Amino acid sequence: SQQGEEDPQALSIQEGENATMNCSYKTSINNLQWYRQNSGRGLVHLILIRSNEREKHSGRLRVTLDTSKKSSSLLITASRAADTASYFCATGPRTEGEAAGNKLTFGGGTRVLVKP
Amino acid sequence: DVKVTQSSRYLVKRTGEKVFLECVQDMDHENMFWYRQDPGLGLRLIYFSYDVKMKEKGDIPEGYSVSREKKERFSLILESASTNQTSMYLCASSRTSSAQPQHFGDGTRLSIL
């Protein structure tokens, strides 16, 4: 079953605009991660935020985490055509066992199209 | 730079065949994972391994097995391929310590005819 649910499922914006996508999850987490997937390729890790953090930045990416609402958002500022991709959130569980804690549960993804 | 290599980008097999998908990582990672990705269903974990010869079932292990004889290599085996196993298969690896990112290969698009 999916832990993370992304919203919206698809997003179309003009180059230069900001893109925001949201992720909701159901159980307690240790961390939440965002990944990008270009068409026909594997996933690339973008950013990781731990459960005790509220906001994190990396270049044009800004991630927020609200554990009380069990939700996260990814903001891409000043989007470029090269940002066209699917974006996935993934949650790492809060768990006793170290091995199990390295498993991630992925959401269904948001497809982002940035038009030039 | 981190690299996860999957042996084939595209593979076509017939129903009933035994299929091997290979994955190699060069980062000395303890953990390795196999996922399948289907439209509308996201990534679903098939199996993962946290050490050589160690494995744990994921969410959808039925019809699959795995082998990890060496730390750098993790194989996914379809014992008797069926058409509902047509999918994109993704391999990933990560370190064991808390809150680690996973590094993915480029995937194998497998078609079972």
Write out chain A residues lying below 8 Å of B104, CB-based.
Answer: 35, 42-44
- A54-71: pLDDT as tens digits: 999 999 999 999 999 999
Neighbours of A97 (CB within 10 A): 11
Interchain CB contact of A101 with B (< 8 Å):
yes
Query: Top-level CATH class of A5-115?
Result: mainly beta
Between CA A20 and CA B8 the distance in angstroms is 35
Q: Are B15 and B83 in contact (CB under 8 A)?
A: yes
Between CA A46 and CA A89 the distance in angstroms is 10
Q: Please tell me the predicted confidence (pLDDT) of residue B17.
A: 97
Q: Are B46 and B60 in contact (CB under 8 A)?
A: yes
Mutate to test the interface with B, among A31, A95, A102 (most CBs of B within 10 A): A102
Domain extent listing, chain B: 4-112
Q: Which DSSP state fits A82? A: G
Q: Tell me which residue has tokens 């390795």.
A: B32
B42's enclosing H/E stretch is strand B42-51
Q: How confident is the model at residue A1 (pLDDT cuts 50, 70, 90)?
A: very low
- A39-50: pLDDT as tens digits: 989 999 999 999
- CATH fold for the domain made of B4-112: Immunoglobulin-like (2.60.40)
Q: How confident is the model at residue A7 (pLDDT cuts 50, 70, 90)?
A: confident
- pLDDT tens, residue order, chain B (113 aa): 669 999 999 999 999 999 999 999 999 999 999 999 998 888 999 999 999 999 999 999 999 999 999 999 999 999 999 999 999 999 999 998 778 899 999 999 999 99
